[in-house]
Amino acid sequence: MALATLIGMGTVGAFAAEGLEDVMKRRGLSQKDLLAAAKTYTPTGGRDEFLVFSSSGQAGQIMVYGIPSMRILKYVSVFTPEPWQGFGFDEESKKILRQGDIDGREINWGDTHHPALSETDGKPDGEYLFINDKANPRVGVVSLHDFETQQIVVNPILQSEHGGTFVTPNTEYVIEAAQYPGVLGRGYAPLSEFNEKFRGAVTYWKFDRSKGRIDPAKSFSLELPPYTQDLTDAGKGPSDGWSFTNSFCAERYVGGIEQGKPPFEAGCSANDADYLHVINWKKAAELVAAGKSVKINGHDVVPIKTAVEEGILFLIAEPKSPHGADVTPDGKYIIVGGKLDTNVSVYSWEKIKAAIDAKQYASKDPYGIPILDMKQVLHTQVQLGLGPLHTQFDSKPCIAYTSLYVDSQVAKYDYCAGKVLDKISVHYNIGHLMAMEGDSAAPGGHYLVALNKLAIDRFNPVGPLHPQNHQLIDISGDKMELLYDMPVPLGEPHYAASIAADKVKPLIRYKYGTDSRTGQASPDAVRPGSEKIVREPGKVTVYGTAIRSHFTPEIVEANEGDIVTFHITNAERAEDETHGFTVSTYSGNLSLEPGKTASVTFKADRPGAFSFYCTEFCSALHLEMEGYLMVKPKGLVEQTSTKATDSTVYTKADFDKQYTTNLETQKVIDTVVKYIMSTNYKDFPTVVALVEDAVDQLNFAKDAKGKTDEAAKKEDWQQGTLWANQWWQYQVKAADIGLRVKTYLEEHGAKTVAK
Amino acid sequence: MALATLIGMGTVGAFAAEGLEDVMKRRGLSQKDLLAAAKTYTPTGGRDEFLVFSSSGQAGQIMVYGIPSMRILKYVSVFTPEPWQGFGFDEESKKILRQGDIDGREINWGDTHHPALSETDGKPDGEYLFINDKANPRVGVVSLHDFETQQIVVNPILQSEHGGTFVTPNTEYVIEAAQYPGVLGRGYAPLSEFNEKFRGAVTYWKFDRSKGRIDPAKSFSLELPPYTQDLTDAGKGPSDGWSFTNSFCAERYVGGIEQGKPPFEAGCSANDADYLHVINWKKAAELVAAGKSVKINGHDVVPIKTAVEEGILFLIAEPKSPHGADVTPDGKYIIVGGKLDTNVSVYSWEKIKAAIDAKQYASKDPYGIPILDMKQVLHTQVQLGLGPLHTQFDSKPCIAYTSLYVDSQVAKYDYCAGKVLDKISVHYNIGHLMAMEGDSAAPGGHYLVALNKLAIDRFNPVGPLHPQNHQLIDISGDKMELLYDMPVPLGEPHYAASIAADKVKPLIRYKYGTDSRTGQASPDAVRPGSEKIVREPGKVTVYGTAIRSHFTPEIVEANEGDIVTFHITNAERAEDETHGFTVSTYSGNLSLEPGKTASVTFKADRPGAFSFYCTEFCSALHLEMEGYLMVKPKGLVEQTSTKATDSTVYTKADFDKQYTTNLETQKVIDTVVKYIMSTNYKDFPTVVALVEDAVDQLNFAKDAKGKTDEAAKKEDWQQGTLWANQWWQYQVKAADIGLRVKTYLEEHGAKTVAK
């Protein structure tokens, strides 16, 4: 390629106005910026290499974005009602939300922290996603088949958690650890009995992959001392069967600034070391199966005493106030950073296992748990800087990255040799970081994201509440290079999980009549032609359909005080023909993707004429996709017929005019069809699907033409004209699709094929 | 600049691994793509030229993004509770949400459609933003001083709306028009009386800029016929004082597919023309002032009859099923596109005014409203293509852009000369479009965004519910050029409003103790040192503060069944030191930006030890920013003291060790301070603010040192060690800020200054 061509100088017509060098000068871009732009910019229709599933913190959602484009593709609501998705606004999803209520309290938000992708052989498999709620100890399960939340489980014993979710290498269990100690079962004890009555715990939720659901009955917890447990990681390879949970505030300080004592922050960070908990979860599961657990709130809990007796629970000192216990891809080491220490500590699993097997303990904690000798089980410590927090791994052997909160840097180092290789400054305080599949058995390399907290001065100001900043870093070379700053517009992400994009293969559409929250056929689905309104005393139930651009039925009558239910099925086959549904002022909203059935129920508590309409811009006649719920006042005696007559009267001339238009329109459609058929359109799956959709529309048009002709035979120009117009509407929909196909074929270099 | 340097070839170390040409080849980028990348890529710390405020449709929020980077900066919740912002999760914002309840029904979502920025002289001024709710006829008011929703007003007479919001040139009124006709006041009438009893309307909400609130008492509506009113625009310049509202379904069809009739979409699009409503709102306001309105639900409504008699309401035919009535920047023309017509119609205000003044009417509608002769008042029609929908204007005179829904294109044309200049294909069906300040009296040119609906195939698949696609188009040259595809991750935007970024000047922080939802001082704010817990029978009220990294108080006792309230004030001065607050399982969440006071109230309905914590990652000791709400069981007789004692005991050796550490830490801090002072740091406002914050932290450290020394004097090594550690925590916070300053100064080329 000639350089002059490459940089767009010279005579290329399209950009004659402003060449590359002009643009760089105007926008103040350096050569380095241009390279970063080329590494991240994704032209229309382009695909990202990796998908990121990020927590959105207190927003209670999952944020999905692509790498390297750093474009946010979707927010998936997990714990917080969100009307665009219908989550919490249709009856089906309300059942999921209400699974998450705690002790009779309705909870409509979550403080999401650590998402985990389901794994097979220690590698993300793109099937499911789990995420915790720190504020209300719960775990949500999202299916990556449709990116919808399908389960929320409430932790039966914790009052606070943080260390979730993490999965075992084949997603046998989803791990959730306590944070602030409480009385297990959410009971009361005075703080004077903190040491005796307060406890931590780690819960192992059994995942049933065949059902895509957690099975609470087969899940269990391990009682832990009232150290403030933090993050966990599951062992893999040689350490498979074990899990590692760090902690802070091993001082067991209970605050009291209001009494003139120093605050928690002082008392919880006074000692040099906290404890890493080393747990044999495989054996714990066996103990539960053998009946060696106790029940708290009906949930199996292995007591500390049993765990100690059975040799499945150990402690190791770790530098003060750690966050993140990260197992290396080969399962041989566990890396822990202490936020108030300058080192990361690399523990050797081989040495830990040897010490455990030899019962070589340095001491015991106040609860009788054996403490291994830190020095004996350390592989090495690497001095990185101020505030080491969380570690991720590269595809290259022995290479790790650790975020440095106070230094606002990422350190790259060789954890085998204990040697720092590179550092890069980020903007500003970095919490977690995430490399591509960087916590898995086979990291993907290439990129790393710094999840920065305090985004002061990075973006245009948008008020006192700032966005966070996810910075994309290129880790493919020897030196880390900053590529992109992505503001986070909603929520405060803590951790994120990534996966090669081609592993995620979501549904195109639902099987006709699916309740997406159960994944099963909805009993309330109907096919077009079978719609019905069922009236019972005090109750009106509508079984309806939605298709471009009308609902069936359109007019629904109810009496004041009736319980009204609409079950609507989207009868579309086209990939993105989502419809919505709401009844004005009655507060439900359905998001109806093709094939989905969803429902809304409410009490028609006031008389009135309430319109319903499609809440998703679906077609040219979208605004006309409407109907009325007529709520008749109690005791109404209608003075006149409730049957409406047409306000506009059509004549034979109107009919003939529309009929002629339709025949002409058909000619245009025939031309487009002819063009499409002349190409190799069958080589483009997207186009094949669109053509199917267009054929559907033309069949609908044919049907409407039949009704038109029938009316004309009876010289009913009123119905004839209206049906002729409906026939034309279907033609417009077909033409719309045809034009999209044409654009697609032209832009994708379709070829003319011989007949 | 040498070309070889420009494209990063050769020996530049940092990118030796992969040069620009390599990257382009690997990623399949064309020269055109590279230019688009250079035009949009924004390096770290860079600013956008324009801010966009986009509706998020059924998500009930406002999405704010930057142009040209197309990075989403913030979602601002308007009608839907959102916990990250605390909206609907603190008591202050619940009051705003509950203003939006309709007829006694609690409504927790909205279907936002058309945002409007406050204007001065017809140009956006960056002060306020308004947006409508189509599902529940309401208008929300967002302050751009802090990007928070501060008011929701319920339309007193409509059951459905769509055509809002639009402002008059000096934001005298915010306009909201009906959509599906109803009985004004949300009453009942049978559909058989549709023509007689159903009505449309347009509401003019009076805006009081001094208060930043709509004044419902000074607002009024104009009754309109039961045509389905759609979008509006206010006149300006010569047409100031008038507004223009289009409509569809002038057929007044009432559906009935369930009775075998054709659906609404057929009956509502059968005629060739609908009606543009031409309204003299200034005179309407005078009529209301003169008592010529009637009251419906206590709201002033000017009846059709009065409007006709007074000569303030006229109709003009417009091509079928229009969407968008757009007044040109000079106020001389109104452009309307009919979605089922191939033309846009350019009406001349001069001709309309002349016809009105001369009382030259073509006919009257069934409600007696004069209909102007379309041909007489048309300036021209321009044939653009299939599905013309919405129009925006360029900074160049006579240049307009109209979206073509069915053709999936944007057309650029000269509306003065009636000539098409250019067309560009977008992906795919485009609804609204938005040029920079493109609906104002002085459009900004440069860019245009196509708000596309059906994003099939543009992005990595994320399940059956697809993102929408906002495509950025460069309009600075003769030919439109596609620059960027932005997926919309949440909601379905309809319309968006843009403004030059430098016009928006939000607050840095709140005045100490502000209730952000009223903008006034909160009566519940306290200063550090004045925190208190007030106990009344059945009630515990906490007046607390939050500052890195502790709450005051930390331990709060209550009895089972008490109503507990926490009022928390963020005592930080640092720009981005937001804290959060929640009590585990009790479901409130506060977002506490610096200076803000917010509150949460709940019934402590179950006994237990419930932790509370900071929900925003604020500092290295963020996880330690915790406390306990101790809810004592009813009738509890405590067996032991509730006063906790420290679990860890500290000796003089511990004390000495921490004291020595602190003195050493101070030396490091002194070095950083010395470096900062040696530079021209005062030239950087961001740094000056950070230095202020660091000085605050060092003063806190000094205070903690005082307490340390005092304890040491008493040989109280327990309190001494803990306070020494707190002193050290403040040092860490100061060091953290110092390091951020250092990075900033280094990256911004700070200079050494002579002493």
Closest CA to B228 of B251, B205, B262, B257: B251
What is the C-alpha separation between B556 and B542, in angstroms, rounded? 8
Residue with tokens 């006919």: B363
What is the C-alpha separation between A335 and A317, in angstroms, rounded? 13
pLDDT higher than threshold 80 for residue B53 = yes
Count CB atoms within 10 A of the CB of residue A46: 17
What is the C-alpha separation between A62 and A68, in angstroms, rounded? 19
pTM score of the predicted model: 0.96
Contact B30 A38 (CB under 8 A): no
CB B594 within 8 A of CB B573: yes
- Give how far B239 is from chain A: nearest CA, Å: 29
- Give how far B675 is from chain A: nearest CA, Å: 16
Residue of A nearest to B705 (CA): A262
Read off the pLDDT of residues B647-668 as tens digits, 9 standing for 90 and up.
899 999 999 999 999 999 999 8
Which of A21, A145, A595 has the CB atom closest to B6's CB atom? A21
Per-residue model confidence (pLDDT) at position A339: 82
| Token pair belonging to A578 | 């989502």
pLDDT higher than threshold 50 for residue B545 = yes
Residue of A nearest to B466 (CA): A576
pLDDT higher than threshold 50 for residue B13 = no
| Token pair belonging to B393 | 């204007």
- Give how far A78 is from chain B: nearest CA, Å: 13
Contact A270 B23 (CB under 8 A): no
Per-residue model confidence (pLDDT) at position A563: 98
Q: DSSP letters of B529-544?
A: T--EEEEETTEEEEEE
Read off the pLDDT of residues B123-151 as tens digits, 9 standing for 90 and up.
999 999 999 999 999 999 999 999 999 99
Per-residue model confidence (pLDDT) at position A10: 38
Read off the pLDDT of residues B176-216 as tens digits, 9 standing for 90 and up.
999 999 999 999 999 999 999 999 999 999 999 999 999 99
- Give how far B350 is from chain A: nearest CA, Å: 31
Read off the pLDDT of residues B385-432 as tens digits, 9 standing for 90 and up.
999 999 999 999 999 999 999 999 999 999 999 999 999 999 989 999
What spatial distance separates the first Cα and last Cα of chain B, rounded to whole Å?
37
Closest CA to B107 of B142, B62, B157, B153: B153
Per-residue model confidence (pLDDT) at position A421: 98
Per-residue model confidence (pLDDT) at position A321: 85
Per-residue model confidence (pLDDT) at position A702: 95
pLDDT higher than threshold 80 for residue B112 = yes
| Token pair belonging to B156 | 């007193």
Q: Which residues of B touch A654 (CB under 8 A)?
A: 270
Q: Residues in chain A, how many? A: 755
Contact B160 A613 (CB under 8 A): yes
Collect all residues with Cβ–Cβ distance below 8 Å to A522 and sequence separation of at least 6.
Answer: A92, A513, A514, A515, A567, A569, A597
| Token pair belonging to B404 | 């073509």
Collect all residues with Cβ–Cβ distance below 8 Å to B408 and sequence separation of at least 6.
Answer: A739, A740, A743, B425, B426, B427, B428, B429, B430, B452
The Cα-based distances of A387 to A322, A404, B736, B742 in angstroms read 9, 5, 9, 16
Q: Which residues of A touch B686 (CB under 8 A)?
A: 456-457
Scanning B370-516, the segments in alpha helix (DSSP H) are: 374-377
| Token pair belonging to A196 | 């005796």
| Token pair belonging to B447 | 């860019």
Which of A111, A259, A726 has the CB atom closest to B582's CB atom? A111
Q: Which residues of B touch A743 (CB under 8 A)?
A: 408, 425, 427-428
Which of A29, A258, A615 has the CB atom closest to B554's CB atom? A258
Q: Which residues of A touch B458 (CB under 8 A)?
A: 44-45
ipTM value: 0.95
Percentage of residues of chain B with pLDDT beyond 90: 88
| Token pair belonging to A623 | 């605004």
Mean pLDDT, each 10-residue run in order, chain A (755 residues): 39 59 97 98 97 97 98 98 98 98 96 98 98 98 98 98 96 98 97 97 98 98 98 98 97 94 94 95 98 98 98 95 93 93 96 98 98 98 95 98 95 98 95 98 98 90 97 97 98 97 96 97 96 97 96 97 98 93 96 98 97 95 96 81 79 95 93 92 90 92 96 95 94 90 88 78
What is the C-alpha separation between A716 and A322, in angstroms, rounded? 81
What is the C-alpha separation between B448 and B450, in angstroms, rounded? 7
Residue of A nearest to B595 (CA): A464
Per-residue model confidence (pLDDT) at position A639: 62
Contact B739 A108 (CB under 8 A): no
Read off the pLDDT of residues B675-717 as tens digits, 9 standing for 90 and up.
999 999 999 988 998 899 999 999 999 999 999 999 999 999 9
Which of B34, B467, B644 has the CB atom closest to A254's CB atom? B644
Residue with tokens 């009406």: B347
Q: Which residues pair with B410 in a beta bridge?
A: B403, B424
Per-residue model confidence (pLDDT) at position A635: 86
Per-residue model confidence (pLDDT) at position A454: 78
Per-residue model confidence (pLDDT) at position B11: 39
Residue of B nearest to A65 (CA): B489
The pairing of beta strand A563-570 with beta strand A539-547: parallel
What is the C-alpha separation between A256 and B285, in angstroms, rounded? 61
Q: Which amino acid is at A587?
A: S
What is the C-alpha separation between A193 and B72, in angstroms, rounded? 49
- Give how far B237 is from chain A: nearest CA, Å: 32
Which of A180, A608, A739 has the CB atom closest to B406's CB atom? A739
Which of A1, A194, A478 has the CB atom closest to B644's CB atom? A194
Q: Which amino acid is at B351?
A: K
Angle between helices B20-27 and A31-40 (to 10 degrees): 10
Contact B159 A252 (CB under 8 A): no
- Give how far A665 is from chain B: nearest CA, Å: 12
Q: Which residues of B touch A45 (CB under 8 A)?
A: 427, 457-458, 485
What is the C-alpha separation between B515 and B524, in angstroms, rounded? 9
Closest CA to B277 of B295, B251, B250, B302: B250
Which of B18, B162, B611 has the CB atom closest to A180's CB atom? B611
Helix (H) or strand (E) holding B690: helix B685-713
Per-residue model confidence (pLDDT) at position A644: 74
Q: CA angle, corner A468, sides to B685 and B494, nearest 5?
A: 110
What is the C-alpha separation between B528 and B659, in angstroms, rounded? 26
Angle between helices B685-713 and B717-747 (to 10 degrees): 160
Percentage of residues of chain B with pLDDT beyond 70: 97
